Amino acid sequence: MEFTLKDRIRISILASLATLIIRIWFFTVRIEIVNQDIYDDYFRQPGEKKNVVAGSWHRHSIFLFYFFRNLENRLIMISRSKDGEITSKVAKSFGYSPVRGSSTRGGRKALQALIQIMKSGSRKYLCGTPVDGPRGPARKLKRGMVVLARETDSFFIPMACSGTNVITFHKAWDKTIIPKPFSKMVIGFMPPIKIPVDRTGEDFEAQCKKIESDLDQLTDKLDRICGYTGG
């Protein structure tokens, strides 16, 4: 996508403002982690463990993007739209390596690029890329990130978050949530899943249905813990 000089200036200003707001706002939020052992073993501990694809519903993506800010070797898929250009600059400021594309624009090329990147070099993490995005329907698993985990021999880890005092964007297709300042967010992980490279057809579809169910169960569990009923 080509941008005029005016576009580039606007994008840079908006990205800088968004980065500043996210850092100040979310810095005030307390975090509680459910299944801390999974987070410690698969995200924080150095070693020879495989790559990780952390999948969540789009509803959670803004705060989870911030949550992973201190993790090394992070990748994120971002759309090729003009808004995606702003998001890409924000992601870089938080240490992510953006790969541009989505299920609706440039997705196949982006997926192939991600496969190549995750197969090369040191252990990598794909974080902050929702598995029902970018346009929904909400909480319906799309196959791209599961294919990525299968093709790169990565662990797929379902994850979700909820909060005790959040803002819900009710008009958004995914009912995006973000925490209010000085509130608490609860983040949860489910056990890592390995998807054999030869799992295709009905077996692969059954695995995807299981992951979709796991994500729903985890999301509902965290909502109950937080007393969240916002939809």
Specify the pLDDT at position 178.
97
Q: Higher-confidence residue: 143 or 49? A: 143
- Strand segments, DSSP code E, in 71-213 are 74-78, 97-100, 125-126, 155-163, 166-168, 177-179, 184-189, 193-194
* CB neighbour class for 230 (10 Å; exposed up to 12, middle 13-18, buried from 19): middle
Whether a cis peptide bond, with omega within 30° of 0, leads into 134 is: yes
Closest CA to 71 of 49, 46, 98, 36: 46
- What mean pLDDT comes out for the span 104-125? 82
Closest CA to 111 of 123, 120, 102: 102
**Cα–Cα distance, 225 to 131 (Å, whole number):** 23
Residue 103 has pLDDT above 60, yes or no: no
Specify the pLDDT at position 102.
63
Residue 104 has pLDDT above 60, yes or no: no
Percent of the chain with pLDDT over 70: 94
* CB neighbour class for 150 (10 Å; exposed up to 12, middle 13-18, buried from 19): buried
Residues 175/59, Cβ–Cβ less than 8 Å: yes
Specify the pLDDT at position 68.
95
- Strand segments, DSSP code E, in the chain are 30-34, 52-55, 74-78, 97-100, 125-126, 155-163, 166-168, 177-179, 184-189, 193-194
Specify the pLDDT at position 230.
82
Query: In whole numbers, what is the pLDDT of the chain averaged over residues?
Result: 91
Phi-psi category of residue 45: left, alpha or beta, with phi > 0 → left and psi -120 to 50 → alpha: beta
The pTM of this model reads 0.91
User: Which domains are present in the chain?
Assistant: 5-226 (3.40.1130.10)
**Cα–Cα distance, 91 to 66 (Å, whole number):** 9
Q: What are the tens digits of pLDDT across the range 155-182? A: 999 999 999 999 999 999 999 999 999 9
Tokens at 48, concatenated: 């020879």
Residue type, 167: I
> From the CB of residue 151, how many other CB atoms can be counted at a distance below 10 Å?
16
Specify the pLDDT at position 122.
81
Q: What are the tens digits of pLDDT across the range 51-64? A: 999 999 999 999 99
Specify the pLDDT at position 48.
61
Specify the pLDDT at position 90.
96
